Structure 1
Amino acid sequence: MRRRTPRTALGAVFGGKGRLRSGRPLGSLGTTAVLVITLCLGAPAGQAAADGPANGDYCAGQCADILPPGANGSATLAEILANRVFGTQPAHADDELGPYDALSSGYPSLTDDTLTQFFNDSSFGVPDGQVASVTRPRDDVTITRDRKFGVPHVRGTTRYGTEFGAGYAAGQDRLWLIDLFRHIGRGELTSFAGGAAANQGLEQQFWPQAPYTEQDLQRQVDYIREHGGARGAQAMTDAQAYIDGLNAYRVKARYDRTFPGEYDLTGKIDPITNAGEIEPFRITDMIALASVVGSLFGGGGGGEVDAALSLLAAQQKYGVTDGTRIWESFRGRNDPEAVLTVHDGSSFPYAGRPDQPRGEALPDPGSVEAEPLVYDRTGSAEQGARHRKDPVGASAELKPLRGLFDRGVLPADLFSRQGDASAVKGMSNALLVSGAHTASGHPVAVFGPQTGYFAPQLLMMQELQGPGISAHGVSFAGIGMYVELGRGQDYAWSATTAAQDIIDTYAVRLCEPDGRAPTKQSTGYLYHGTCTPMEKLERTNSWKPTLADSTAAGSYRMQVLRTNYGIVTHRATVGGKPVAYTLLRSTYRHEADSIIGFQMLNDPSYVTDARTFEQAAAHINYTFNWFYADSRDIAYFNSGANPQRAPGVDPSFPVDAEPAYEWKDFDPTDNTAARTPDAQHPNSIDQDYYISWNNKQAEDYSAASFSFGAVHRADLLDERVRRLTRQGGVTRAALTRAMEDAALTDLRGERVLPALLKVLRSKPIDDPALGAAVQRLESWRDDGAQRRETSAGSHRYAHADAVRIMDAWWPKLVEAEFRPGLGDPLWNALTRDLTVDESPSASHGPTGGHAGSSFQYGWWGYVDKDIRKVLGEPVDGPLGTAYCGAGALDACRDALLTSLAEAAAEPATTVYPGDDSCDAGDQWCSDAIIQRPLGGIEHDPIQWQNRPTYQQVVEFPDHR
């Protein structure tokens, strides 16, 4: 899709200089633009056209959404105790979990009329008779909650009041969670919540990515104010009003003792005397929170050191020329068989392999060492968790809560990543069909983010109505001054993680200030010819036992070194000379700049059509795929602060830290640089349909990781939605059925097993046991290769044995197919770059156990290409050489049969070894989604489904 000229005057204002993109300041906004923005921000929300609905809601009851487990994410100490002893739930803590779960069995008979059995009506306001409560924290705002789910509907007569109400409602629903995440953002989780090993691991994993000082956080607030023009100033005013509302609730809850019970459990407040305090919130907390969210869901790239190591291993195995060619075939930067979101043939070149690479800084073999992070361990930090019988403050009445957080108040794998910073946990999908192919003639969309399953959720549902704001949807707790994903008056929007490459690794030459010869441990580096000291950033954390965390007292210090080219991650030699490898992210020091784009998405006077939606999304510097639907159009835009790299720089490998290889117009002061123009980001309006499941965006838009290959989980959506579109007459229910059908399907069984079976059946199978195993797999494939219950609530899979065989076989078959040909060094290097498997029960995988999201990362594309080559079938973009049986069909078949025999004989108790939630051998439970507790409340497991956490189903029949 080529960019179109904006129709509106305001769109024209923001089509050029006004947008907040690093290196393109907003301070240049003219007087007229500022006046227009100010007028728009002051316009009353919900103001409809003369013939439009009075409340500004044009969806006419055809918009719905769902966010398990429930809106209420706060529980008092008494409610936590009741949950642990009696299994009771606070009001609205889990009432969206049942409808969400039920779709897995109810979707085959779903109709438009029955959608609200599985989703919540997301119409604006609360109907008469459905009001559960009305709170007025100020005269200029009301917070109305509905009876069914308890969602806060915030309506303000002033903009300050609206934002104050949003913050107040956030305190009501997520006070403890917000407090947790601001401490994660500052690398202070263990000091705040206890020294459990999981808590230590989280802050050690996150803090090095954004090791900000308090001055750094404040500087980001000031940057938005100084460079954001009228919208930037308004955004920081809105943020302060939100913080004011959050603090107002904090004070009230502390006064009337309705604060979350986790403050008692972690020793912040004494449960007997009520002594203690909840620390006031500050606007810089918003930056710390945004840095967590941005790092989790809005980054892409990195991993250049691991990529260099696997390239060197390939070159050592095959020689430089063939090794590079074979490595590139696994890297698959522009795999011609990859499923695309923009499938109309449009090309958007970015981050590809240059014809003549310049400045590459590959390490000398064997020289790479990871930079240490942790120092000065004492107590339990050094010796692991030790437990005391009677933690501080324990009493007989509270025994059920002793040791509640010994394993951490947050799951150890909360921030689990595939390999490196280049890829985050699986998240989000989108299905949109244009009005030309629907029953009504209006577009239909089913979309949402997959942000993991937690209790309470990281996201918070809300409706905001006030001057310049009119939206319903979800926001990340603590930065919810605007709806981040949801619907406006006559449009809806959502996002999936894009993860294109906005991170580069630089090799900085080490030096000593006095001119001595540097070593690999030197802390000086050459910056534009001058030996410059690295900046040392430290965080010291200590803890003591509490009621719910009986981990023994301990402490340790984290240290990172910062350069003008980013954070030091490794040390090595390049050509015999010592270097430090540093990671530079384009959004570093700009964690909250995206607030401008979200402000626009909430402003009904700004987003009036698909083009103005694209312009709003372009102000978001996180790497997201944005999708839009109204009554006329569907649209797609890929956002992100894509740096303009120097000619010849290959972003897949480390590059010399020299001016010739820096980003264009790079200035380390605020980490600013020139960004690629918006028109060069993949974008489209009114394609026949769009699908996204964190897949490749468009032709020539190079992947930031190894995962965009011939088989991707997005194929499951693409095949189903393409079929629906060709048939025509698509409805909301039909598109939801397509989504859920894919959500229960095993990618390996649908997309790879057919080719594997061709190899196995290329000759008769003499062994009866193997023949029976193959027959089970064939029956499963023929029945859709799904992981679904025999009946609702049975907790047993149809084709259970075939599913067990596949789960046991896949890692064995991949190793049998590839390891002999690759050899151990290259096999080990490539499996560090891309994990072999990510099935629902793969608790060792990147998302951890019981996480829902599955099949994002794996070797299924490699297996598929290799097996088709062995079969003599066409392969577009094949691997550099054949691996299964060295390309011989009979030898390949023998390898597959041998590995299958081992898998078929493996008992369920070994395939599904059990954990704290499931007995060994319990296949359904091993897959099941469990809301990971971020506090004291727990919920029952639900059926696995590979589906967004928050999800909308929308079809607008009218437009302003």
Structure 2
Amino acid sequence: MRRIAIVLAAGVVAVASAAPATATPTEHAGDHPGVRNVLPPGQAGGMTLPGAAGAIPGDPLGRQAVDGRNAPENFADQLEMYDALNHADLGSLTEESLGAYYKDSPLTLTDDEAVSVDRPKDGVVIRRDEFGVPYIEGETREDAAWGSGYAGTVDRMFLMDVLRHVGAARAAEFLGPSAENIAMDQEQLRTAFYTEEEAAAQMEEVAARFGEEGQRLLAAADAFIAGINAAQERLCPGLVLGPSCPVEYAALQRVPQPWDRADVVYIASLVGGIFGKGGGAEFANARWLQQLEQQFGPEEARRIFDDLRSADDADAPTTSSEPAPYGGGPVDPTLPGVALPDLDGPTAPGTGDDAGSGGIPQPSLGSLSGRLAPAPMRITGPFGTLDLAAVADGMSNAALVSGDRTADGHPAAVFGPQTGYYAPQLLTEQAVVAPGIRARGVSFAGTNLVVQLGRGVDYAWSATSANSDNVDTVVAPLCDPAGGAATVESEGYVDDGRCVPMDSRVHQETALPTLGGVGAPQVLRFRVLRTDDGIVQLRTTVDGQPVAVVAQRSTYHRELDSVIGFERFGNPDVVDDAGSFQQAAAAIDYTFNWFYADDRDIAYYSSGRLPVRAEGTDPHLPRWAGDRWAWQGWLAAEDHPQQVNPPSGFLVSWNNKPAPGWAAADDGWGWGPVHRSLALSDRMTALTDAGGVTTPDLVAAVQDAATVDSRADYTLPALLDAVGDDPGLAEATALLRDWQERGAHRLDADRDGGYDDQAAVALFDAWWESTADDGTVTSVAHELLRGTLGALVTELPQRLDDHPRQGLGSAWNNVAWYGYVVEDLGGQGQWSRSYCGGGDAATCQADLRASLRATVDRLLAEQGAESVGELTYDKHLDDITAKSTGVVGVRDIDWQNRPTFQQVVHFTSGR
């Protein structure tokens, strides 16, 4: 589940190991059929001023795209295919009927088959199919890269411009000085600040690290940038009011500027800061542990911490069945490398603070606060708000069946990244054929130099976010370079006994009001502080000593290295079987779970530039700076989770634990006995046990899992058993148990306007979490632990739920509380104690009954119902709402927990 984030990393992945020599390009015969895909809402993403002038009068309120009426062709055509599967008769799917829900995805297109043909420069041909997907052919790799930049800009010009400015921490400069844009700039500075010189230099650094392969990539990247600039000049030849220029420029009163190397790195840093990382919450963990110590004493506090942390729970579902030990172990704050910031010590801001502008609020603490107070990631444009948290909170899934369990002996897969829902989509699709590349799929807008997720000649691949631990919180003692006494305001730090000035800079931007905006231009000045370990997040004290709290990310300053791995994915001379794919995936530095299928094998590899931590440090808690406690190298490729053709006959991932023994990153507490991946693996087990699996069978199983309330399906049995037989609650418990036994779906199968089980949905939602008018939250999950934790139950640095009502599609991902229910009530035996009712079974039952009874009484009164069976739930609270970045958006669709881009793969032949 985490929307796959799969997203795979948005291309910002970095490559850690030495690249194998690339074979001399050879001629490959036509691609092998066997892949379908869908990417809502559609491939087209631009709206011109003349088009906008017709769109708004034609639909002044909803501004919902209807192809050919108020939006370009191909703007929303795939949305209808995507939505249709959610109310299809899954038991009646056939190979033929899949074409109603997915489009064919070949690698090439002839002139006769194409809807349009463009030859924008010598050596480049861009054909488009009926869905508007560009098929780019180049005489050289550089020609193809130029074509990718050109076609991607035609489809996503304004969105690309937004992303490069956000990645450069200049959202306020480009989009206007809204509170959201200023907060987003602060957050990007705290995550991935680079000067323009540093960003541009990364391309040369990658080329130097990878020799001849790196030089080829550098040449392709420069051609890609040239293609972007050529398309911008063609669309907006000096006039933002021109007939082909995106209308948003006129609304912003901005003129598009040429692209350079730094811009590509800025987008990569943005995507990499959202996907492909894990950890960085040691500060929040330290605060939680110290709160426990104050209430329970040091020994009991550690036991409680370990229970609830679920770092390496033996009952957590895994993708690979082969053990891969990494991290974990009980928490130990007494280790010499551990640094625990004082709970109530003085503080001073770090990076993102006001450097003299006046009026800039202090930055969010972001990951330092754990998951209770996530960093703000909203940006406002001329036509609405874009919430990049929808990308971060998504995550993808994958389900693959090996050939020995299918009807025809060839593997099958249904997989894809979940990157949220936008109009136009953040991902853009292309097919690219040239020497050294023969691939089709998606990439984040502005990073489509390579195909990040998709298919090759006779294989396909995808990813989910692994969230492995590549970010640490490092604590450096502060000092005064001038020789005075250190305070939390000091800008020097102790480095192995020396007082070193921090890299202190001011990030400045001039933010102009947009068309219709009010107020004078603002000059925004943000402070940036860095040590050798990374970006300073906060300054505070440890045992009264002033310190800097620094975020150290293994991929910082290496945002582009992973492009090498993506380039290898699409090269048929490099990838020709499962083993070579795994080798290519090992070159990606960001933390993703990679999946592969061809006509013979299914395979898995979990990538990432993962540090080997020094003895004397604790992966759950902050560590001291200095060579003694620094990272000791990188986990070897052979020690990463990986598997080919598992004995179970299938592979499943939904952002769950990769392998036995693989501990969750310090910010991930949700790898317990309940994870949304169970909704997939349970169905896959049933399919593969029976054997004879067909592609429609697999599509049906994955889609059936997409409407399951995983939280309810896997916690209700334990909750209802604990409540027991209470005559006063018999109607409520029967309603909930019946819903759970039939799969706990949130589905309006007949599209009559309400969920088929809306009464049960309403009751369980309210039981799990209700918020009063004064903001007070009541929850059965809180009541479960309150008998032991007391008031600390609401201080646990983990969110209570991941609900569809967020409008993101993705739900139920990595929530620790779901597992707590089963762990405490189900008698799994992993915990040191029982928590419900303070460990007393009778008190526990009384607490849970009281919680359910109060929920029933409250709901009946609110809805004026006589019985729980009359309760209603507005399914539109769960609707997937695409975030619009332009004049025209798209309609809401019913909730489904599904990748944004989804491939259906079944190769029956190969090289």
Structure 1 residue 226, shift from structure 2 partner: 1.3
Structure 1 residue 257, shift from structure 2 partner: 3.3
Indicate how the Cα distance of structure 1 residues 105 and 580 shifts in structure 2: closer, same or farther if over 3 A, else same: same
1:738 and 2:701 matched: yes
1:374 and 2:353 matched: yes
Q: What corresponds to 1:126 in structure 2?
A: 109
Indicate how the Cα distance of structure 1 residues 410 and 307 shifts in structure 2: closer, same or farther if over 3 A, else same: farther
Q: What corresponds to 2:312 in structure 1?
A: 334
Structure 1 residue 498, shift from structure 2 partner: 0.4
Q: What corresponds to 2:794 in structure 1?
A: 828
Equivalenced residues, count: 847
1:436 and 2:404 matched: yes
The one-letter code matched in structure 2 to 1:900 is: L
Whether contact under 8 Å (2:248, 2:382) holds in the other structure is: no
From 427, 433, 450, the counterpart of 2:418: 450
Q: What corresponds to 1:560 in structure 2?
A: 528
1:83 and 2:44 matched: no
The one-letter code matched in structure 2 to 1:547 is: L
Structure 1 residue 129, shift from structure 2 partner: 5.5
1:698 and 2:659 matched: yes
Q: What corresponds to 2:323 in structure 1?
A: 346
Whether contact under 8 Å (1:211, 1:537) holds in the other structure is: no
1:776 and 2:735 matched: yes
Whether contact under 8 Å (1:196, 1:407) holds in the other structure is: no
Structure 1 residue 894, shift from structure 2 partner: 2.3
Indicate how the Cα distance of structure 1 residues 655 and 135 shifts in structure 2: closer, same or farther if over 3 A, else same: same
Q: Distance in 1 between matches of 2:862 and 2:889?
A: 27
Structure 1 residue 409, shift from structure 2 partner: 6.0
1:933 and 2:884 matched: yes
The one-letter code matched in structure 2 to 1:807 is: D
Q: What corresponds to 2:268 in structure 1?
A: 290
Structure 1 residue 382, shift from structure 2 partner: 7.5
TM-score if structure 1 supplies the norm length? 0.85
- Deviation per CA, 1:288-315: give whole Å up to 9, x if none: 0100111111111101100001111112
Secondary structure of the 2:767 match is helix
- The more displaced of 441-450 and 345-354 is 345-354
Q: Distance in 2 between matches of 1:563 and 1:134?
A: 52
Q: Distance in 2 between matches of 1:683 and 1:263?
A: 47
Whether contact under 8 Å (2:395, 2:810) holds in the other structure is: no
Q: What corresponds to 2:9 in structure 1?
A: none
Q: What corresponds to 2:780 in structure 1?
A: 813
Structure 1 residue 250, shift from structure 2 partner: 0.4
The one-letter code matched in structure 2 to 1:684 is: Q
Which runs of 5 or more residues in structure 2 are unaligned?
1-12, 60-69, 363-378, 770-778, 864-871
Q: What corresponds to 2:826 in structure 1?
A: 868
- Deviation per CA, 1:135-163: give whole Å up to 9, x if none: 1111211111012x110010112222111
Q: What corresponds to 1:226 in structure 2?
A: 208
Secondary structure of the 1:235 match is helix
Q: Distance in 2 between matches of 1:595 and 1:407?
A: 29
Q: What corresponds to 1:795 in structure 2?
A: 753
Structure 1 residue 579, shift from structure 2 partner: 1.2
The one-letter code matched in structure 2 to 1:864 is: V
- Deviation per CA, 1:809-840: give whole Å up to 9, x if none: 1022112222342122x32331xx21011111
Whether contact under 8 Å (2:405, 2:693) holds in the other structure is: yes
Whether contact under 8 Å (2:474, 2:551) holds in the other structure is: yes
TM-score if structure 2 supplies the norm length? 0.89
Q: Distance in 1 between matches of 2:676 and 2:219?
A: 42
Structure 1 residue 546, shift from structure 2 partner: 2.3
Q: Distance in 1 between matches of 2:519 and 2:810?
A: 30
Whether contact under 8 Å (2:418, 2:901) holds in the other structure is: yes
1:168 and 2:150 matched: yes
Whether contact under 8 Å (2:539, 2:546) holds in the other structure is: yes
The one-letter code matched in structure 2 to 1:927 is: D
Q: Distance in 1 between matches of 2:451 and 2:444?
A: 9
Q: What corresponds to 1:51 in structure 2?
A: none
Q: Distance in 2 between matches of 1:65 and 1:266?
A: 35
Q: Distance in 2 between matches of 1:644 and 1:382?
A: 37
- Deviation per CA, 1:179-210: give whole Å up to 9, x if none: 10110111000110112232223222222100
Structure 1 residue 908, shift from structure 2 partner: 10
Secondary structure of the 2:661 match is strand
Q: Distance in 2 between matches of 1:901 and 1:550?
A: 52
Q: Distance in 1 between matches of 2:458 and 2:206?
A: 29
- Deviation per CA, 1:560-589: give whole Å up to 9, x if none: 210012111122322332211111000000
Whether contact under 8 Å (2:175, 2:380) holds in the other structure is: no
Structure 1 residue 411, shift from structure 2 partner: 3.7
The one-letter code matched in structure 1 to 2:644 is: I
Whether contact under 8 Å (1:908, 1:922) holds in the other structure is: no
The one-letter code matched in structure 2 to 1:131 is: A
1:596 and 2:564 matched: yes
Indicate how the Cα distance of structure 1 residues 903 and 538 shifts in structure 2: closer, same or farther if over 3 A, else same: farther
Q: Distance in 1 between matches of 2:331 and 2:745?
A: 42
1:197 and 2:172 matched: no
Q: What corresponds to 2:773 in structure 1?
A: none
User: Cα RMSD over matched residues?
Assistant: 2.5
Q: What corresponds to 2:836 in structure 1?
A: 884
The one-letter code matched in structure 1 to 2:725 is: K
Structure 1 residue 676, shift from structure 2 partner: 1.2
Structure 1 residue 558, shift from structure 2 partner: 2.0
The one-letter code matched in structure 2 to 1:930 is: T
Secondary structure of the 1:627 match is strand
Secondary structure of the 1:943 match is coil
Indicate how the Cα distance of structure 1 residues 65 and 536 shifts in structure 2: closer, same or farther if over 3 A, else same: same
Q: How does 1:665-744 map to 2 (within 5 A)?
A: 674-687=633-646, 688-704=649-665, 705-744=668-707
Secondary structure of the 2:597 match is strand
Structure 1 residue 83, shift from structure 2 partner: 3.4
Task: Tell me the percent identity.
Answer: 38
Structure 1 residue 725, shift from structure 2 partner: 1.0
Q: Distance in 1 between matches of 2:407 and 2:591?
A: 33
Q: Distance in 2 between matches of 1:954 and 1:368?
A: 56
Indicate how the Cα distance of structure 1 residues 462 and 408 shifts in structure 2: closer, same or farther if over 3 A, else same: same
Whether contact under 8 Å (1:850, 1:926) holds in the other structure is: no
Q: Distance in 1 between matches of 2:359 and 2:613?
A: 45
Which runs of 5 or more residues in structure 1 are unaligned?
1-18, 49-53, 269-276, 384-404, 418-423, 665-673, 844-848, 870-874, 912-920
- The more displaced of 331-340 and 99-108 is 99-108
1:942 and 2:900 matched: no
Indicate how the Cα distance of structure 1 residues 910 and 634 shifts in structure 2: closer, same or farther if over 3 A, else same: farther
1:804 and 2:781 matched: no
Q: Distance in 1 between matches of 2:358 and 2:324?
A: 57
Indicate how the Cα distance of structure 1 residues 725 and 370 shifts in structure 2: closer, same or farther if over 3 A, else same: farther
The one-letter code matched in structure 2 to 1:567 is: I
Whether contact under 8 Å (2:37, 2:901) holds in the other structure is: yes
Q: Distance in 1 between matches of 2:15 and 2:433?
A: 28
Q: Distance in 2 between matches of 1:466 and 1:330?
A: 52
Q: Distance in 2 between matches of 1:407 and 1:121?
A: 35
Q: Distance in 1 between matches of 2:674 and 2:346?
A: 33
Structure 1 residue 509, shift from structure 2 partner: 0.9
The one-letter code matched in structure 2 to 1:226 is: A
Q: Distance in 2 between matches of 1:550 and 1:406?
A: 15
Whether contact under 8 Å (2:45, 2:155) holds in the other structure is: yes
